[in-house]
Amino acid sequence: MSDQVGRKYFGTDGIRGRVGEGQIQPEFVLRLGWAVGRVLGNGQGEVVVGKDTRISGYMLESAIEAGLSAAGVDVRLLGPMPTPAIAYLTQTLRARAGVVISASHNPFYDNGIKFFSGKGSKLTDQEEMEIERLLEEPIQTVPAAELGKARRLEDAAGRYIEFCKSTIGSGVRLNGLKMVVDCAHGATYHIAASVFEELGAHVASIGASPDGLNINSGCGATHPETLRAKVMATGADVGVALDGDGDRVIMVDEHGQIIDGDEILYIIAKSRQEQGLLIPPVVGTVMSNFGLEQAFSKQGISFIRAKVGDRYVMEQLHAHGGLLGGESSGHIICLDKTTTGDGLVSALQVLEVLSRTGKTLSQLCTGMVKLPQKLVNVQLPEGVETMNDGKVEGFVKSVEEALAGSGRVLLRASGTEPVIRVMVEGENEADVEKYANQLAGQIRETLAN
């Protein structure tokens, strides 16, 4: 679903939906490839195309390849690769653009397509609008002699592994560190373990056997309880859970406690500050735990909130000159290391602090206390993209009054799924849960009438 004003197809993170419905089918993706080739390739040059491990990736990859070729653009196929790897390789190969076929943390029956500029960054509003304009026009195939060619990059994984390792100090070693890595049966399945093993860690991999249907299924960053169980069973020092396309990371400490994106952001920012390397402000989102804001305040670290979505975090970083931002979901952006959110790079930043200080992961979280927070998703009926209702607004106000300034309420429409996200945060966990469920029930009742 699109929540950007003036957009027909693009949402906050490219174009995404159920395979075989709407835009996620071969005919549309063929036209999309042609439009992208015209706008980003300018009818020439090379565009790199990568995907995650969904079975539909084969179909969509072929369709977008055909469209790009019809526009006269050469294609470099990367195969299954993490989203941030595609951003990196787009830059290093000096390509005109990068194409990612992935629905990130969604189930296998969803898929999507998003794009990077030749600089490895998200597209501008103007570029997206021009692509949408061309999607309304008939395809005009270039003369046969000018059709684009396609070839594969055989060493894509090796190049990206070396890049990841280069984002921490050359003297950093993870020797003796016992790790569990959950790849969510996704795009990092053939990469993640190698990154950590080559730095000296002992790695047990789970979620590293994709079959096209099991991506994100009960595993990865969206289901960190699977990683937690493995860490506890093996007595590992650290657990790392990535999502299906590798741009998110959630960690587990030596006691089995789940370390989310807020805590990861805190560890990296605090370390950067201690080393004199932090360039403020740090950017979170409206969903970032209030405990993170309190911890940064105590550390004297400037913190601002953006709307949910990595593109909005990035906008605020660029607007204010910051280099570090992220979301509770584990999407961390380290602009001093790379151009986009990268789960492996973010995990390495934490492990570098662990190696440098000799502290455990749980000790690195000292100084931040999260407030109880409850998130409830309310499914929207088909055809409904948002909700405005006076009764619900009144109920929200009554909850905010009950929290008496010691918490907050947030309602927002998801940019990637047809749901309203209901979030309540406060000091008392029982009250937080009660109010979140009551408010979600009120919204469901309103939508049903």
Active site residues: 104
Cβ neighbours of residue 434 under 8 Å, at least 6 residues apart? none
Q: What is the distance between the terminal CA atoms of the chain, rounded to a whole angstrom? A: 23
CB 243 within 8 A of CB 104: yes
CA distance 280 to 35: 38
Length of the chain: 449
Share in percent of the chain as helix, strand, coil (round to 5): 40, 20, 40
Tell me how far apart the alpha carbons of residues 251 and 101 are, in angstroms, rounded to a whole number.
25
Cα–Cα distance, 389 to 130 (Å, whole number): 35
Residue 406 is given by DSSP the state S
- Between the alpha carbon of residue 126 and those of residues 72, 91, 129, 130, the distances in Å are 22, 21, 5, 6
Question: What is d(CA 444, CA 215) in angstroms, rounded to the nearest whole number?
Answer: 30
If DSSP codes are grouped into helix, strand and coil, which group holds residue 225?
helix
CA–centroid distance for 4 within its chain: 18
Which residue type does 295 have? A
Q: Which of 425, 237, 264, 229 is nearest to 347 (CA)?
A: 264
Residues 183 and 207 sit within 8 Å (Cβ to Cβ): yes
E strands, 84-182, where?
A: 97-101, 110-117, 150-152, 178-182
